[in-house]
Structure 1
Amino acid sequence: MTQDSALSTDADEQNSATGRTQNGGRPAKKIGGVRWAIAILLFFGVLVNYIDRSSIAVAEGHIREDFGLTAGQMGIVLSSFGWSYALMQIPAGLLLDKIGIKWVFRTATVLWAVSCFLTALVSGTALLILARIILGIAESPIFPGAMKATGYWFPRSERGTATAIFDSGQRLSNVIGFPLVAMAVVTFGWRGAFVATGILSVIYAVIFFIGYRDPKAAHRAGRLTKPELDHISNGGAQDEDAPRPNPLANLGYIVRQRKVWGMSVGLGCAGYTQWMLLTWLPGYLQSSLNMDIMASGIFTALPWLVAVAVEFIFPGWMLDHLIRIGKSGTVVRKTFIIGGMVLAMTVVGAAFTTDVMWALIWITLGTCGITMAFCVTNSLPALIAPEGGVGAVGSIMNSVNNIIGVSAPIVTGFLVQATGNFNLAFIVAGVILLIGVFFYTVVLGPIEQIPSAAEREGAALAS
């Protein structure tokens, strides 16, 4: 993409943010807020999704006792969801680009509810791993689908806040989910907790089936006003009716783009620490800081509660505000990403204390940094993907992220088993975060849309 194109992208963001037309400078007509209802619908999908996947961390001690597992073996169980989740990211992205968000999500939500009920019924470790693998398959479309929906439903200047809304679901799942699942485990046993998450998933499946349409389809159905549709499309949203390239050919083109790999490996390095905290933080609090299961559920929620507030203030509202007043989208977004990664490295401080208060301070700071990096990065596929390729770009990013992240529960489990504590696990996480800073800084480059293969070929012929 040329420098002129990049400048045009920043101008589009600023024009959309101010609500003025490019030629008249007159205020735009009053528009509706259906797009924000879609963001909230996506938020609840991510929320339920993460409660489903992370509830096993709260029940980890009870499951280990029932099945007689070592810490290393439990690490394998905790990571099993991530095997299929990572492997299915690219197929899920291709399906999203080929079939669309509506039917892929409808199918996925039903399947992930079924997998929760299966988890409650398992009679051994192998069946538990199988149920978690099914859950990984079912939940694989959620993030590339949310990114694609955001690309359809929001102008570029609102992507920061829109992404913060759906991305905050994974943080609030820990604030809401960990204490509630801990209560369910104490009250009904760990199997009863998974029945509860299955019921929650069924409720969301019904709501999504009724509530989601793409923007033009929503307008045709009378759910979206013409001024709001114009606001969305004129602000640089991707066109749901754009010709869809051959998914496999488009995938081959996309995986050759350096920008995609800088974004993906960078996020994976943040994802390693996130996976470690999602799967092992309650166990760390119980074994290293001597908390009972209820206390660990409550204290696990605190860092994520702070992170949600940080997410809405900085990579949400402040990012959009800075773009609104004319700052470069590339500079603003990369500043938040890299700043977040540096802040995330403070999680290493937990390796050097046994004081509950200091451990929570370091983990909370690290969690806030991870949240900033994740929130901004999750908005990038809709910004850099060639037309018709948001699902593929988002799925590649999530696939790499989860291939790296899925190693965290296993590595952490065996490090704890070998050393008797979590100190080395936190240090390893800090080193991996530093590698992520390199990929975001050096490999990613400017945050601008990748030309399609046809556009690139046309430009080459013209020159």
Structure 2
Amino acid sequence: YTLLQIPVGTLLDRVGIKWMMRIGTILWSVASFMTAIVSGLGLILLSRILLGIGEAPAFPGASKATGYWFPIKERGRATTTFDAAAKFSSALGLPIIALVVSAYGWRAAFWTTGILSLIYAVAYWVLYRDPGESSGLSATERDYIVEGGSQQEGAVPTNTTANLRFLLRQRKIWGLTLGFSCYNYAFNLFLVWLPGYLQTQLHASVLKSGLYLIIPWLVAGVADVLIGGVLVDKLIASGYEPTKVRRVLFTVGMLLGIAAIGAAFTANVNVAVTWLTISLAGLAFAAPIAWSIPSLIAPKGTVGTVGGIMNFLGNLAGIVAPIVAGIVADRTGFGVNFLITGAILLVGIFCFLFLLGRIEQIEAPPADISGITERIHTPAA
């Protein structure tokens, strides 16, 4: 998943969202069913690799699609729709999967996710089109999107390597990417380790740990939608400067993320879950702010690549987080991980504020570097 982020991002820019996501959703459905069926470590690892390949286009593709479909003033709510879905799925999925595993075993959990993935794959295949291909989009609606600052469709970079080199020289790209990576370190620490933390440190059962985690993930989803989406768009529509709105709310979210430190100093599961709920809520509404930015700063035809760069380094941080957490937990106890995470979030705030700078489109490279060509979309009848 992580290694494919930049290649998939460039393919999203060249091939398009529709086909990359169609292929991806089918692959991750097959991977879930395969995990439920196969035996042996090798085949199980192969199914997990296939899942990573299938899921790779999801977030960069969603970010690129919001750039096509929504004017700038509505980008916050659009982004938070797909980002909050991940939080709500954790709130609902953890207890459901815990119940399925407890009642029917681990293979049943993968049959469940496989069926859900297949339903989504069919829905995406039938429903998603780019604006230029959509028969349900009126001329008035299309003009509203374009005049509102949507990303231009049909801009295809042919010189992929030169474009990537150009993007990697931009300070804004590094500010966004490093800030998001610090967020993703914290998020993946919680995603991977919270059930184990509740079970080993606070002695909750598998089922109870799943039930306890409904609260923080549910609150995170609500905060994602109401603050990272609705509030951001409302403040910008009210006349507040967009860069300031996004910087302030991202900073507040990351600062709230540091509240997880409170869980390091309690042995009470209810108190720990309260601190973790505050932390996850803050991180949750910071995330869609970050994911809205590739479509705002990327030069023409490069939103997928920018999203891929951001998600590549973000997921490297996400891979490191649970490994470091396991080592630290073995040597010092799990609470120290919350202190480390707090320090990393402070670094992320610095990168977002002082490296990213003003949130505006990066000036496109010269045509001889970008090799941009125009792919014309004819609206469907």
So what's the TM-score if we normalise by structure 1?
Answer: 0.77
**What residue identity is the alignment partner of 1:143?**
F
1:243-254 alignment, distance < 5 Å: 243-254=156-167
Deviations 1:327-349 (A, max 9, x none): 11100001111111111111111
Q: Does 1:92 align with 2:4?
A: no
Query: By how many angstroms is 1:418 displaced?
Result: 2.6
**8 A Cα contact 2:10 2:160, kept in partner:** yes
Residue in 2 that maps onto 1:73 = none
Shift of 1:429: 1.2
- Write the letter of the residue equivalent to 1:331: K
Secondary structure of the structure 2 residue equivalent to 1:453 = coil
Q: 1:368 aligns with which of 281, 299, 302?
A: 281
Hey, what does 1:431 align to over in structure 2? 343
- CA–CA separation in structure 1 for the residues paired with 2:74 and 2:125: 25
State the 1:110 CA deviation. 0.8
Cα deviations by residue, 1:212-247 (Å, 9 ceiling, x for unpaired): 1000100xxx21111111111110001112354422
- Root-mean-square deviation (CA, aligned residues, Å) is 1.6
Contact 2:202 2:267 in 1 (8 A): yes
Structure 1 residues without counterparts, runs of 5 or longer: 1-84, 458-463
Alignment check: 8 A CA contact 2:157 2:163 kept: no
SS in structure 2 opposite 1:406? Answer: helix
Aligned letter for 2:7?
A: P
Measured in 1, the distance between the counterparts of 2:227 and 2:125 equals: 32
Q: Does 1:197 align with 2:110?
A: no
Where do residues 443-454 of structure 1 align in structure 2 (5 Å cutoff)? 443-454=355-366
Aligned partner of 1:393: which letter?
V
One-letter amino acid matched to 1:425: N
Cα pair 1:245 1:388 within 8 Å, conserved:
no
Secondary structure in 2 aligned to 1:275? helix
Give the TM-score normalised by structure 2. 0.93
Q: 2:122 aligned with 1:206, yes or no?
A: yes
User: Secondary structure at 2:2's aligned position in 1?
Assistant: helix
Q: Go from structure 1 to structure 2 and tell me whether the alpha carbon gap of 1:123 and 1:417 turns closer, same or farther (over 3 Å shift).
A: farther
Show the counterpart of 1:102.
Answer: 18
Aligned pair count reads 369
User: Any stretches of 5+ residues in structure 2 without a counterpart?
Assistant: 370-381
Query: Matched residues in 1 for 2:286 and 2:302: separation?
Result: 22
Which one of the candidate residues 290, 302, 305 is aligned to 2:218? 305
Cα-to-partner distance string for 1:315-361 (whole Å, 9 max, x where unaligned): 21111111111111100001111111111111111111111121011
Equivalent position SS for 1:87? coil
- Per the alignment, residue 206 of structure 2 pairs with 293
Partner of 2:180: 267
Q: What letter matches 2:304 in structure 1?
A: G
